[in-house]
Copies of this chain bind each other. A is one copy, B any other.
């Protein structure tokens, strides 16, 4: 059934079991070493130049089979050094897509089973484990029992699918059959801080970016509910048809949390679909003291939280919860004959998860999530999330206490937004020349920190000002790593200010 490739003419079947075994054990050792600290031997941000990796590899697939050992050698030689290390403890750039050892094993097993759980019968365990694992997450987050979960690949897909359901249930339209031509202008709402995936969803769904109205935020970058209510009334009066509001729990830029209770009340009054993007921030609700982040979300129609963001599950795994999964199914139901089950199977068959999203192919993503939740336990998950929030608070306190820096936004979760602001410029930030210099200084600071290879930060703009983001979410990040990043930030900021300060601001 399986036949060796090397030295034989027979080239059907999979690789020889022993070839897999040997390479598999080597791979386990490599991963164990990598996760245990080997990753720190590399700069967190890859130092390769564009084209380096490509030019090291041949333009054509090899004609003859190659031994796995050679492929693994090339992996270590060409791929690993060309990688930005998301599992590096100094990876502080984006929401902690934080793989964990049990999640890696889950992905390994899942890829060996290679199940496509499009129908219940093509993956009974995959289908039911998805329900079980998402039930566990739901209860850990304190979400209502009526929320039915289904796994999508990313929050982009989850939000797209949720908003398609919202669009589907607009009274008087039949978007599924007739499309949007001839329909009134639909409008959806999100804060000015909402994620770019909401823009992409508006484009994909044929709403257009002009049909996605961005609502201003308050001083803490949270959606202004009064402005939302006013926008809805205004659009209604103009003959448009508001149909959905996207609230964000933990915005990408600053992790601000929209006032969902007020937004939910407005949605109820106007009968709009409330979708909550809690892709990152929702995970914090595993902590009793952080449960407030999901306040009001029990009234949502749909909510997305990504275990691959802050629940230690390797990318990709996005949990979409929906109060009325039938709307999701109805929005896309196109079951062709060759996928209909017949006879006895059809009668008692539970739901087929392919009906609750865009993709027919559905790999076994629940397995890794289930393994992570068991291996850490609910307590272990809470401890780790709490540790990240504490690390962020610790950094925020230091920034607040540092006369040469300023914090640019509240840090309710595990991201700290800051910038260097030399103390003698504290009162002059409003002057155009000083403002431009501070932006330039912080851009240079970002490059300098990232060039060290010890930390990788990202940036945003807060009220138009260039701002550094320190996003904590990696299992391997400890207080020592945060302290080191802070040390680098301070030293580099002082050095750059000396080098870059224009005479006019001296």
- How far apart sit A61 and B502, CA to CA, in the bound complex (Å)? 58
- Which of the segments A266-274, A291-299, A374-382, A404-412 contacts the partner chain? A374-382
By a CB distance below 8 angstroms, the chain B residues around A115 are 83-84, 86, 315
Is residue A182 contacting chain B, with contact meaning CB distance below 8 A?
Answer: yes
A204 near B203: Cβ-Cβ < 8 Å: no
Interface string of A22-49 (1 = CB under 8 A from B): 0111011111111111000000011011
Q: Chain B's nearest CB lies how many Å from the CB of A143?
A: 13
By a CB distance below 8 angstroms, the chain B residues around A14 are 35, 100-101, 475-476
A128 near B31: Cβ-Cβ < 8 Å: no
- How far apart sit A231 and B123, CA to CA, in the bound complex (Å)? 40
Is residue A371 contacting chain B, with contact meaning CB distance below 8 A?
Answer: yes
Is residue A257 contacting chain B, with contact meaning CB distance below 8 A?
Answer: no
Interface string of A121-160 (1 = CB under 8 A from B): 1111110110110011101100000000000011111001
Find the B residue at minimum CB distance from A205: B206
By a CB distance below 8 angstroms, the chain B residues around A174 are 208
Known: A21-B28, A24-B31. A179 touches B210 (CB 8 A): yes
Please report whether the interface of chain A is mostly helix, strand, loop or mixed according to DSSP. helix
Q: Chain B's nearest CB lies how many Å from the CB of A33?
A: 8
Which of these, B1, B182, B204, B210, contacts A205 with CB under 8 Å?
Answer: B204
- How far apart sit A151 and B141, CA to CA, in the bound complex (Å)? 33
Q: How large is the interface on A (under 10, 10 to 19, 20 to 34, 35 or more residues)?
A: 35 or more
Known: A51-B350, A79-B367, A108-B31. A114 touches B101 (CB 8 A): no
Known: A29-B21, A179-B206, A206-B206. A101 touches B15 (CB 8 A): yes
B361 near A125: Cβ-Cβ < 8 Å: no
Chain copies in the assembly?
A: 2
A196 near B336: Cβ-Cβ < 8 Å: yes
Q: Chain B's nearest CB lies how many Å from the CB of A477?
A: 9
B124 near A111: Cβ-Cβ < 8 Å: no
A12 near B384: Cβ-Cβ < 8 Å: yes
Known: A79-B367, A175-B208, A196-B335. A34 touches B112 (CB 8 A): yes
By a CB distance below 8 angstroms, the chain B residues around A421 are none
A83 near B205: Cβ-Cβ < 8 Å: no
B1 near A83: Cβ-Cβ < 8 Å: no
Interface string of A195-228 (1 = CB under 8 A from B): 1110110111111111100000000000000000
A338 near B253: Cβ-Cβ < 8 Å: yes
A61 near B374: Cβ-Cβ < 8 Å: yes
Is residue A66 contacting chain B, with contact meaning CB distance below 8 A?
Answer: yes
Is residue A68 contacting chain B, with contact meaning CB distance below 8 A?
Answer: yes
By a CB distance below 8 angstroms, the chain B residues around A57 are 128-129, 132
Closest 3 CB pairs of A and B: A206-B206, A179-B208, A82-B125
Task: Using A197-B358, A342-B446 as known contacts, list a sample of 4 further A-B pairs with CB atoms less than 8 Å apart, ordered by residue number in A.
Answer: A15-B100, A61-B373, A181-B206, A342-B447
Q: 28 A-B pairs, CB-CB below 8 angstroms?
A: A2-B476, A11-B380, A13-B476, A14-B476, A17-B35, A20-B35, A20-B101, A50-B349, A54-B131, A60-B378, A61-B137, A62-B378, A65-B374, A66-B375, A68-B371, A80-B125, A86-B114, A87-B112, A93-B122, A107-B107, A176-B209, A178-B211, A204-B358, A253-B338, A338-B461, A339-B458, A342-B446, A345-B447
